[in-house]
Chains A and B, each alone.
Chain A
Amino acid sequence: MDEMIQHILEILENDARTSPEEIAALTGMSAQDVSQAIAKLEETGVIRHYKTIVDWDLVGENYVYAVIELKVTLERNQGYQVIAERIYKFPEVRSVRLLSGDYDISLTVRGKSMKDVAFFVAEKIATLDQVQSTSTRFVLKTYKEDGVILHEPESIQRLPVSF
Protein backbone atom coordinates (compact mmCIF):
# COMPACT_ATOMS: atom_id res chain seq x y z
CA MET A 1 0.00 0.00 0.00
CA ASP A 2 1.14 3.50 -0.80
CA GLU A 3 2.45 5.23 2.33
CA MET A 4 0.31 8.33 1.77
CA ILE A 5 -2.84 6.24 1.27
CA GLN A 6 -2.08 4.50 4.55
CA HIS A 7 -1.74 7.88 6.29
CA ILE A 8 -5.04 9.12 4.83
CA LEU A 9 -6.92 5.96 5.80
CA GLU A 10 -5.52 5.92 9.33
CA ILE A 11 -6.40 9.57 9.85
CA LEU A 12 -9.95 9.15 8.55
CA GLU A 13 -10.52 5.87 10.38
CA ASN A 14 -9.62 7.70 13.57
CA ASP A 15 -11.61 10.85 12.77
CA ALA A 16 -13.78 10.91 9.67
CA ARG A 17 -14.28 14.65 9.99
CA THR A 18 -10.62 15.53 9.38
CA SER A 19 -10.60 18.02 6.52
CA PRO A 20 -8.47 17.58 3.39
CA GLU A 21 -6.55 20.72 4.45
CA GLU A 22 -5.69 19.19 7.80
CA ILE A 23 -4.75 15.86 6.23
CA ALA A 24 -2.52 17.84 3.88
CA ALA A 25 -0.80 19.50 6.83
CA LEU A 26 -0.34 16.12 8.50
CA THR A 27 1.16 14.38 5.49
CA GLY A 28 2.96 17.05 3.53
CA MET A 29 0.66 16.48 0.50
CA SER A 30 -1.34 19.27 -1.10
CA ALA A 31 -5.00 19.60 -0.11
CA GLN A 32 -6.00 19.04 -3.70
CA ASP A 33 -4.06 15.76 -3.91
CA VAL A 34 -5.66 14.65 -0.66
CA SER A 35 -9.16 15.41 -1.95
CA GLN A 36 -8.44 13.51 -5.14
CA ALA A 37 -7.05 10.53 -3.26
CA ILE A 38 -10.09 10.43 -0.97
CA ALA A 39 -12.47 10.67 -3.92
CA LYS A 40 -10.71 7.70 -5.50
CA LEU A 41 -10.84 5.73 -2.25
CA GLU A 42 -14.58 6.40 -2.01
CA GLU A 43 -15.13 5.54 -5.62
CA THR A 44 -13.31 2.22 -5.41
CA GLY A 45 -15.12 1.29 -2.20
CA VAL A 46 -12.02 1.31 0.01
CA ILE A 47 -13.80 3.94 2.07
CA ARG A 48 -17.21 2.38 2.58
CA HIS A 49 -19.00 4.84 4.74
CA TYR A 50 -18.56 7.65 7.26
CA LYS A 51 -20.45 7.25 10.51
CA THR A 52 -20.66 8.46 14.07
CA ILE A 53 -20.37 6.35 17.19
CA VAL A 54 -23.13 7.55 19.51
CA ASP A 55 -23.57 6.83 23.20
CA TRP A 56 -27.37 6.85 23.14
CA ASP A 57 -27.55 6.18 26.89
CA LEU A 58 -26.37 9.72 27.57
CA VAL A 59 -29.42 11.24 25.85
CA GLY A 60 -31.82 8.89 27.59
CA GLU A 61 -32.37 6.67 24.57
CA ASN A 62 -31.87 3.31 26.21
CA TYR A 63 -31.51 1.00 23.28
CA VAL A 64 -31.29 -2.70 23.94
CA TYR A 65 -28.72 -4.70 22.02
CA ALA A 66 -28.54 -8.45 21.63
CA VAL A 67 -26.09 -10.83 20.04
CA ILE A 68 -27.93 -13.64 18.29
CA GLU A 69 -26.31 -16.77 17.02
CA LEU A 70 -27.98 -18.85 14.36
CA LYS A 71 -27.59 -22.38 13.08
CA VAL A 72 -28.78 -22.54 9.52
CA THR A 73 -29.30 -25.19 6.89
CA LEU A 74 -28.07 -24.46 3.43
CA GLU A 75 -30.18 -25.15 0.40
CA ARG A 76 -28.83 -26.64 -2.77
CA ASN A 77 -26.94 -24.24 -4.98
CA GLN A 78 -27.19 -21.50 -2.40
CA GLY A 79 -24.42 -20.38 -0.09
CA TYR A 80 -24.76 -18.32 3.05
CA GLN A 81 -25.21 -15.18 0.97
CA VAL A 82 -28.94 -15.71 0.51
CA ILE A 83 -29.74 -16.11 4.20
CA ALA A 84 -27.37 -13.30 5.13
CA GLU A 85 -29.13 -10.97 2.70
CA ARG A 86 -32.55 -11.90 4.06
CA ILE A 87 -31.36 -11.05 7.53
CA TYR A 88 -29.32 -7.92 6.94
CA LYS A 89 -32.17 -6.13 5.18
CA PHE A 90 -33.99 -5.72 8.51
CA PRO A 91 -33.02 -2.31 9.91
CA GLU A 92 -33.08 -3.76 13.42
CA VAL A 93 -30.05 -5.86 12.47
CA ARG A 94 -26.85 -3.89 13.04
CA SER A 95 -24.30 -6.48 11.94
CA VAL A 96 -24.22 -9.91 10.34
CA ARG A 97 -21.23 -12.20 10.36
CA LEU A 98 -20.52 -15.71 9.19
CA LEU A 99 -18.65 -17.61 11.88
CA SER A 100 -16.58 -20.73 12.20
CA GLY A 101 -17.43 -23.13 15.01
CA ASP A 102 -20.68 -24.20 16.67
CA TYR A 103 -22.88 -21.54 15.10
CA ASP A 104 -23.00 -20.33 11.55
CA ILE A 105 -24.15 -16.74 11.68
CA SER A 106 -23.91 -14.11 14.35
CA LEU A 107 -25.96 -10.92 14.29
CA THR A 108 -26.32 -7.87 16.46
CA VAL A 109 -29.85 -6.56 16.86
CA ARG A 110 -30.93 -3.25 18.30
CA GLY A 111 -34.38 -2.58 19.72
CA LYS A 112 -36.23 -0.25 22.05
CA SER A 113 -36.81 -2.90 24.70
CA MET A 114 -35.95 -6.51 25.51
CA LYS A 115 -39.46 -7.46 24.49
CA ASP A 116 -38.97 -5.67 21.19
CA VAL A 117 -35.81 -7.60 20.44
CA ALA A 118 -37.20 -10.93 21.64
CA PHE A 119 -40.28 -10.60 19.44
CA PHE A 120 -38.20 -9.52 16.47
CA VAL A 121 -36.06 -12.64 16.79
CA ALA A 122 -39.02 -14.92 17.38
CA GLU A 123 -41.10 -13.53 14.54
CA LYS A 124 -38.64 -12.48 11.89
CA ILE A 125 -35.51 -14.56 12.35
CA ALA A 126 -36.48 -17.86 13.96
CA THR A 127 -39.27 -18.32 11.44
CA LEU A 128 -37.00 -18.23 8.43
CA ASP A 129 -36.91 -21.61 6.69
CA GLN A 130 -33.14 -21.97 6.79
CA VAL A 131 -32.84 -21.14 10.48
CA GLN A 132 -32.56 -24.26 12.62
CA SER A 133 -32.04 -22.63 15.98
CA THR A 134 -31.33 -19.28 17.58
CA SER A 135 -29.52 -18.27 20.74
CA THR A 136 -30.14 -14.74 21.98
CA ARG A 137 -27.89 -12.94 24.44
CA PHE A 138 -28.66 -9.44 25.62
CA VAL A 139 -25.88 -6.93 25.91
CA LEU A 140 -25.64 -5.47 29.41
CA LYS A 141 -22.90 -2.92 28.81
CA THR A 142 -20.65 -1.95 25.93
CA TYR A 143 -17.12 -1.09 26.90
CA LYS A 144 -15.56 -0.70 23.49
CA GLU A 145 -17.24 -0.23 20.14
CA ASP A 146 -15.40 -0.49 16.87
CA GLY A 147 -12.06 0.46 18.43
CA VAL A 148 -13.49 3.25 20.58
CA ILE A 149 -13.45 2.85 24.36
CA LEU A 150 -16.73 4.32 25.58
CA HIS A 151 -16.04 5.04 29.23
CA GLU A 152 -12.34 5.62 29.51
CA PRO A 153 -10.88 5.97 32.99
CA GLU A 154 -8.91 9.09 33.84
CA SER A 155 -5.69 9.43 31.93
CA ILE A 156 -2.25 9.33 33.49
CA GLN A 157 -0.57 12.68 34.05
CA ARG A 158 2.88 13.08 32.60
CA LEU A 159 5.53 15.52 33.75
CA PRO A 160 5.02 18.73 31.73
CA VAL A 161 8.78 19.13 31.39
CA SER A 162 11.33 16.39 30.80
CA PHE A 163 14.47 15.90 28.73
Chain B
Amino acid sequence: MTEKGLWVMKHIAIGILGVAALGFMASAASAGTLDTVKQKGFIQCGVSTGLAGFSAPDDKGEWKGIDADFCRAVAAAVFGDGSKVKFTPLSAKERFTALQSGEIDILSRNTTWTSNRDSALGLDFVGITYYDGQGFMINAKKLPGVNSALQLSGAAVCVQSGTTTELNLADYFKKNKMEYNPVVFEKLEEVNAAYDAGRCDAYTTDQSGLYGIRLTLSSPADHVVLPEIISKEPLGPAVRQGDDQWAHIARWTYFALLNAEEAGITQANVDEMKTSADPNIQRILGTEPDGKYGADLGLSNDWVVNIIKAVGNYGEMFERNVGSGSPLKIARGINALWTKGGLQYGPPIR
Protein backbone atom coordinates (compact mmCIF):
# COMPACT_ATOMS: atom_id res chain seq x y z
CA MET B 1 0.00 0.00 0.00
CA THR B 2 1.25 3.47 -0.82
CA GLU B 3 1.88 6.04 1.85
CA LYS B 4 -1.15 7.98 0.71
CA GLY B 5 -3.29 4.85 0.82
CA LEU B 6 -2.16 4.22 4.37
CA TRP B 7 -3.05 7.77 5.33
CA VAL B 8 -6.52 7.37 3.83
CA MET B 9 -7.03 4.04 5.61
CA LYS B 10 -5.97 5.56 8.91
CA HIS B 11 -8.42 8.41 8.58
CA ILE B 12 -11.23 6.15 7.50
CA ALA B 13 -10.55 4.03 10.58
CA ILE B 14 -10.60 7.05 12.86
CA GLY B 15 -13.78 8.23 11.19
CA ILE B 16 -15.52 4.89 11.70
CA LEU B 17 -14.37 4.85 15.30
CA GLY B 18 -15.72 8.32 15.89
CA VAL B 19 -19.08 7.53 14.32
CA ALA B 20 -19.31 4.31 16.28
CA ALA B 21 -18.47 6.15 19.46
CA LEU B 22 -21.09 8.81 18.79
CA GLY B 23 -23.67 6.22 17.94
CA PHE B 24 -23.04 4.22 21.06
CA MET B 25 -22.81 7.16 23.40
CA ALA B 26 -25.82 6.90 25.62
CA SER B 27 -27.13 10.20 26.82
CA ALA B 28 -25.87 10.41 30.37
CA ALA B 29 -28.18 13.19 31.46
CA SER B 30 -31.34 11.56 32.75
CA ALA B 31 -34.58 13.09 33.94
CA GLY B 32 -35.05 13.69 37.66
CA THR B 33 -36.29 10.81 39.79
CA LEU B 34 -39.56 12.62 40.57
CA ASP B 35 -40.45 12.90 36.88
CA THR B 36 -39.47 9.30 36.21
CA VAL B 37 -41.49 8.09 39.16
CA LYS B 38 -44.55 10.13 38.14
CA GLN B 39 -44.26 8.81 34.62
CA LYS B 40 -44.21 5.15 35.63
CA GLY B 41 -46.87 5.73 38.29
CA PHE B 42 -45.24 4.06 41.28
CA ILE B 43 -42.14 4.15 43.49
CA GLN B 44 -39.75 1.22 43.37
CA CYS B 45 -38.68 0.70 46.97
CA GLY B 46 -35.71 -1.45 48.04
CA VAL B 47 -36.43 -3.36 51.26
CA SER B 48 -34.89 -6.27 53.16
CA THR B 49 -35.63 -9.88 52.31
CA GLY B 50 -37.67 -10.14 55.49
CA LEU B 51 -36.90 -8.50 58.82
CA ALA B 52 -39.87 -8.38 61.18
CA GLY B 53 -40.84 -4.85 62.18
CA PHE B 54 -38.83 -3.20 59.40
CA SER B 55 -39.78 -4.85 56.14
CA ALA B 56 -41.27 -8.31 55.93
CA PRO B 57 -44.18 -9.70 53.92
CA ASP B 58 -47.17 -10.81 56.00
CA ASP B 59 -49.33 -13.89 55.36
CA LYS B 60 -51.12 -12.02 52.55
CA GLY B 61 -47.85 -11.09 50.87
CA GLU B 62 -48.14 -7.45 51.87
CA TRP B 63 -44.96 -5.74 53.05
CA LYS B 64 -45.14 -4.58 56.67
CA GLY B 65 -42.73 -2.61 58.83
CA ILE B 66 -41.28 0.84 59.41
CA ASP B 67 -39.11 0.70 56.30
CA ALA B 68 -41.97 -0.46 54.09
CA ASP B 69 -44.26 2.21 55.57
CA PHE B 70 -41.70 4.90 54.90
CA CYS B 71 -41.88 4.09 51.18
CA ARG B 72 -45.68 4.24 51.41
CA ALA B 73 -45.35 7.67 53.02
CA VAL B 74 -43.20 8.90 50.12
CA ALA B 75 -45.68 7.43 47.63
CA ALA B 76 -48.52 9.20 49.44
CA ALA B 77 -46.59 12.47 49.28
CA VAL B 78 -45.98 12.08 45.54
CA PHE B 79 -49.19 10.46 44.32
CA GLY B 80 -51.60 11.07 47.20
CA ASP B 81 -51.89 7.29 47.36
CA GLY B 82 -49.74 5.19 49.69
CA SER B 83 -50.31 2.00 47.72
CA LYS B 84 -48.34 3.16 44.67
CA VAL B 85 -45.20 1.35 45.77
CA LYS B 86 -43.52 -1.72 44.41
CA PHE B 87 -41.11 -3.49 46.72
CA THR B 88 -37.80 -5.07 45.73
CA PRO B 89 -36.37 -7.39 48.40
CA LEU B 90 -32.58 -6.99 48.51
CA SER B 91 -29.77 -8.69 50.39
CA ALA B 92 -27.28 -6.54 52.27
CA LYS B 93 -24.87 -7.05 49.43
CA GLU B 94 -27.22 -6.12 46.62
CA ARG B 95 -28.75 -3.00 48.14
CA PHE B 96 -26.30 -0.26 47.14
CA THR B 97 -25.80 -1.49 43.59
CA ALA B 98 -29.58 -1.64 43.16
CA LEU B 99 -29.87 2.02 44.13
CA GLN B 100 -26.81 3.14 42.16
CA SER B 101 -28.00 1.44 39.00
CA GLY B 102 -31.47 2.96 39.21
CA GLU B 103 -33.20 -0.35 39.78
CA ILE B 104 -34.90 1.18 42.83
CA ASP B 105 -35.85 4.81 43.55
CA ILE B 106 -35.36 4.68 47.29
CA LEU B 107 -33.51 2.30 49.59
CA SER B 108 -35.44 1.83 52.81
CA ARG B 109 -33.77 -1.23 54.23
CA ASN B 110 -32.51 -0.85 57.82
CA THR B 111 -29.29 0.60 56.45
CA THR B 112 -26.70 2.25 58.69
CA TRP B 113 -25.71 5.78 57.78
CA THR B 114 -21.90 6.02 57.61
CA SER B 115 -19.59 8.63 56.15
CA ASN B 116 -18.18 6.22 53.58
CA ARG B 117 -21.60 5.19 52.31
CA ASP B 118 -22.70 8.81 52.15
CA SER B 119 -19.62 10.02 50.28
CA ALA B 120 -18.07 7.23 48.19
CA LEU B 121 -21.07 5.12 47.20
CA GLY B 122 -23.09 7.76 45.38
CA LEU B 123 -25.86 7.72 47.98
CA ASP B 124 -27.54 10.38 50.07
CA PHE B 125 -29.04 9.41 53.39
CA VAL B 126 -32.19 11.39 54.11
CA GLY B 127 -32.56 10.90 57.85
CA ILE B 128 -32.54 8.44 60.75
CA THR B 129 -35.85 6.66 60.95
CA TYR B 130 -34.60 4.34 63.69
CA TYR B 131 -31.72 4.84 66.14
CA ASP B 132 -30.27 1.40 66.72
CA GLY B 133 -27.16 -0.28 68.10
CA GLN B 134 -25.56 -3.66 67.55
CA GLY B 135 -26.12 -6.43 70.08
CA PHE B 136 -25.74 -10.16 70.57
CA MET B 137 -28.28 -12.92 71.03
CA ILE B 138 -27.50 -16.36 72.47
CA ASN B 139 -29.36 -19.52 73.30
CA ALA B 140 -29.56 -19.23 77.09
CA LYS B 141 -30.73 -22.81 77.42
CA LYS B 142 -27.66 -24.21 75.70
CA LEU B 143 -25.26 -21.70 77.27
CA PRO B 144 -26.33 -21.20 80.86
CA GLY B 145 -24.23 -18.68 82.74
CA VAL B 146 -23.42 -16.50 79.76
CA ASN B 147 -24.97 -13.09 80.45
CA SER B 148 -22.51 -10.70 78.88
CA ALA B 149 -20.98 -10.32 75.44
CA LEU B 150 -17.60 -10.20 77.17
CA GLN B 151 -17.96 -13.91 77.97
CA LEU B 152 -18.15 -14.82 74.29
CA SER B 153 -14.42 -15.46 73.76
CA GLY B 154 -14.00 -18.54 71.58
CA ALA B 155 -17.60 -18.52 70.38
CA ALA B 156 -18.80 -19.07 66.83
CA VAL B 157 -20.72 -15.94 65.83
CA CYS B 158 -23.27 -15.82 63.01
CA VAL B 159 -23.28 -12.59 61.00
CA GLN B 160 -24.53 -11.32 57.65
CA SER B 161 -21.82 -10.37 55.16
CA GLY B 162 -21.41 -6.90 53.72
CA THR B 163 -22.81 -5.11 56.74
CA THR B 164 -21.43 -2.63 59.26
CA THR B 165 -22.30 -5.35 61.78
CA GLU B 166 -19.54 -7.55 60.36
CA LEU B 167 -17.01 -4.74 60.86
CA ASN B 168 -18.17 -3.82 64.39
CA LEU B 169 -17.96 -7.46 65.37
CA ALA B 170 -14.31 -7.66 64.29
CA ASP B 171 -13.53 -4.39 66.10
CA TYR B 172 -15.31 -5.39 69.31
CA PHE B 173 -13.53 -8.73 69.69
CA LYS B 174 -10.20 -7.20 68.78
CA LYS B 175 -10.63 -4.34 71.25
CA ASN B 176 -11.52 -6.75 74.06
CA LYS B 177 -8.74 -9.18 73.07
CA MET B 178 -11.17 -12.04 72.49
CA GLU B 179 -11.21 -14.75 69.83
CA TYR B 180 -14.18 -15.82 67.74
CA ASN B 181 -15.07 -17.85 64.65
CA PRO B 182 -17.07 -15.80 62.18
CA VAL B 183 -19.79 -17.76 60.38
CA VAL B 184 -20.77 -15.48 57.54
CA PHE B 185 -23.70 -15.77 55.14
CA GLU B 186 -24.93 -13.50 52.42
CA LYS B 187 -28.66 -13.75 53.07
CA LEU B 188 -30.50 -13.05 56.30
CA GLU B 189 -32.53 -16.27 56.06
CA GLU B 190 -29.31 -18.29 55.77
CA VAL B 191 -27.92 -16.64 58.91
CA ASN B 192 -31.18 -17.27 60.76
CA ALA B 193 -31.27 -20.91 59.69
CA ALA B 194 -27.63 -21.51 60.66
CA TYR B 195 -28.13 -19.92 64.08
CA ASP B 196 -31.34 -21.82 64.67
CA ALA B 197 -29.63 -25.08 63.72
CA GLY B 198 -26.90 -24.43 66.29
CA ARG B 199 -24.07 -23.72 63.86
CA CYS B 200 -23.10 -20.70 65.97
CA ASP B 201 -23.21 -19.80 69.64
CA ALA B 202 -24.17 -16.18 69.15
CA TYR B 203 -26.00 -14.08 66.59
CA THR B 204 -25.05 -10.48 66.09
CA THR B 205 -26.91 -7.70 64.31
CA ASP B 206 -28.80 -4.52 65.24
CA GLN B 207 -30.69 -5.04 68.50
CA SER B 208 -34.05 -4.28 66.94
CA GLY B 209 -33.25 -6.93 64.35
CA LEU B 210 -32.39 -9.47 67.05
CA TYR B 211 -35.83 -9.04 68.63
CA GLY B 212 -37.45 -9.50 65.25
CA ILE B 213 -35.34 -12.54 64.39
CA ARG B 214 -35.96 -14.11 67.79
CA LEU B 215 -39.65 -14.36 66.91
CA THR B 216 -38.87 -16.45 63.85
CA LEU B 217 -36.73 -19.04 65.69
CA SER B 218 -38.06 -22.48 66.54
CA SER B 219 -38.19 -21.76 70.29
CA PRO B 220 -37.97 -17.97 70.84
CA ALA B 221 -38.18 -18.24 74.63
CA ASP B 222 -34.79 -20.01 74.83
CA HIS B 223 -32.95 -17.06 73.34
CA VAL B 224 -31.88 -13.91 75.12
CA VAL B 225 -30.45 -10.65 73.81
CA LEU B 226 -27.34 -9.72 75.78
CA PRO B 227 -27.29 -6.23 77.35
CA GLU B 228 -24.20 -4.84 75.55
CA ILE B 229 -24.69 -2.43 72.68
CA ILE B 230 -21.40 -2.33 70.82
CA SER B 231 -22.03 0.32 68.17
CA LYS B 232 -24.11 3.21 66.89
CA GLU B 233 -26.41 2.10 64.08
CA PRO B 234 -28.42 5.03 62.78
CA LEU B 235 -30.77 3.37 60.31
CA GLY B 236 -32.36 5.38 57.58
CA PRO B 237 -33.51 5.53 53.98
CA ALA B 238 -31.15 6.61 51.21
CA VAL B 239 -31.56 7.96 47.70
CA ARG B 240 -29.18 8.40 44.78
CA GLN B 241 -26.75 11.27 45.14
CA GLY B 242 -27.11 14.21 42.77
CA ASP B 243 -30.90 14.47 42.64
CA ASP B 244 -31.59 17.16 45.21
CA GLN B 245 -35.30 17.41 44.55
CA TRP B 246 -35.90 13.72 45.17
CA ALA B 247 -33.69 13.78 48.27
CA HIS B 248 -35.70 16.74 49.60
CA ILE B 249 -38.98 14.93 49.07
CA ALA B 250 -37.73 11.86 50.95
CA ARG B 251 -36.13 13.92 53.72
CA TRP B 252 -39.19 16.13 54.26
CA THR B 253 -41.52 13.15 54.20
CA TYR B 254 -39.56 11.88 57.21
CA PHE B 255 -39.67 15.31 58.91
CA ALA B 256 -43.40 15.62 58.17
CA LEU B 257 -43.98 12.31 59.99
CA LEU B 258 -42.14 13.71 63.02
CA ASN B 259 -43.84 17.12 62.88
CA ALA B 260 -47.24 15.47 62.67
CA GLU B 261 -46.54 13.45 65.80
CA GLU B 262 -45.28 16.52 67.61
CA ALA B 263 -48.39 18.50 66.62
CA GLY B 264 -50.67 15.63 67.63
CA ILE B 265 -51.92 14.92 64.11
CA THR B 266 -52.87 11.25 63.76
CA GLN B 267 -54.39 9.05 61.09
CA ALA B 268 -57.69 9.26 62.96
CA ASN B 269 -57.91 13.02 63.48
CA VAL B 270 -56.19 14.36 60.36
CA ASP B 271 -59.45 15.43 58.70
CA GLU B 272 -60.68 17.43 61.69
CA MET B 273 -57.19 18.88 62.14
CA LYS B 274 -57.55 20.45 58.70
CA THR B 275 -59.95 22.99 60.21
CA SER B 276 -57.54 23.80 63.05
CA ALA B 277 -56.74 27.44 63.64
CA ASP B 278 -53.22 26.64 64.91
CA PRO B 279 -50.90 28.23 62.34
CA ASN B 280 -48.32 25.48 62.83
CA ILE B 281 -50.85 22.75 62.04
CA GLN B 282 -52.13 24.84 59.13
CA ARG B 283 -48.61 25.03 57.70
CA ILE B 284 -48.05 21.30 58.14
CA LEU B 285 -51.35 20.30 56.58
CA GLY B 286 -51.16 22.92 53.81
CA THR B 287 -54.34 24.70 54.87
CA GLU B 288 -52.62 28.01 55.52
CA PRO B 289 -53.89 30.57 53.04
CA ASP B 290 -51.22 31.25 50.36
CA GLY B 291 -48.98 28.55 51.86
CA LYS B 292 -47.17 26.57 49.21
CA TYR B 293 -44.71 24.43 51.13
CA GLY B 294 -45.83 21.32 49.28
CA ALA B 295 -45.62 22.99 45.90
CA ASP B 296 -42.09 24.16 46.65
CA LEU B 297 -41.08 20.53 47.04
CA GLY B 298 -42.72 19.67 43.73
CA LEU B 299 -45.72 18.08 45.46
CA SER B 300 -49.30 19.08 46.16
CA ASN B 301 -50.03 21.34 49.13
CA ASP B 302 -51.92 18.64 51.02
CA TRP B 303 -48.93 16.28 50.85
CA VAL B 304 -48.73 15.81 54.63
CA VAL B 305 -52.46 15.02 54.81
CA ASN B 306 -51.86 12.27 52.27
CA ILE B 307 -48.89 10.92 54.19
CA ILE B 308 -50.74 10.81 57.50
CA LYS B 309 -53.82 9.23 55.91
CA ALA B 310 -51.63 6.53 54.40
CA VAL B 311 -49.37 5.56 57.31
CA GLY B 312 -50.12 7.79 60.32
CA ASN B 313 -47.49 9.86 62.10
CA TYR B 314 -44.04 8.61 63.12
CA GLY B 315 -45.25 7.48 66.54
CA GLU B 316 -48.12 5.50 65.04
CA MET B 317 -45.77 3.93 62.51
CA PHE B 318 -43.40 2.94 65.31
CA GLU B 319 -45.99 1.47 67.67
CA ARG B 320 -47.75 -0.43 64.88
CA ASN B 321 -44.61 -2.04 63.49
CA VAL B 322 -42.10 -2.49 66.30
CA GLY B 323 -43.70 -1.05 69.43
CA SER B 324 -46.61 -2.00 71.67
CA GLY B 325 -48.89 -2.82 68.73
CA SER B 326 -46.48 -5.42 67.34
CA PRO B 327 -45.15 -8.74 68.61
CA LEU B 328 -41.70 -7.11 69.03
CA LYS B 329 -42.79 -4.78 71.85
CA ILE B 330 -39.75 -2.51 71.58
CA ALA B 331 -39.92 0.60 73.79
CA ARG B 332 -39.57 4.00 72.11
CA GLY B 333 -36.36 4.68 74.08
CA ILE B 334 -34.07 7.02 72.16
CA ASN B 335 -36.51 6.91 69.26
CA ALA B 336 -38.98 9.05 71.21
CA LEU B 337 -39.53 12.63 70.12
CA TRP B 338 -37.10 15.23 71.47
CA THR B 339 -39.95 16.66 73.53
CA LYS B 340 -40.10 13.35 75.37
CA GLY B 341 -36.38 12.91 75.90
CA GLY B 342 -35.63 11.05 72.67
CA LEU B 343 -33.54 11.91 69.61
CA GLN B 344 -36.27 12.24 66.97
CA TYR B 345 -36.38 15.91 66.00
CA GLY B 346 -38.09 17.25 62.89
CA PRO B 347 -37.08 20.70 61.58
CA PRO B 348 -40.16 22.88 61.17
CA ILE B 349 -42.25 23.03 58.03
CA ARG B 350 -42.50 26.73 57.26
| Chains A and B come from one and the same complex | no
Chain A positions near chain B (C-beta within 8 angstroms): none
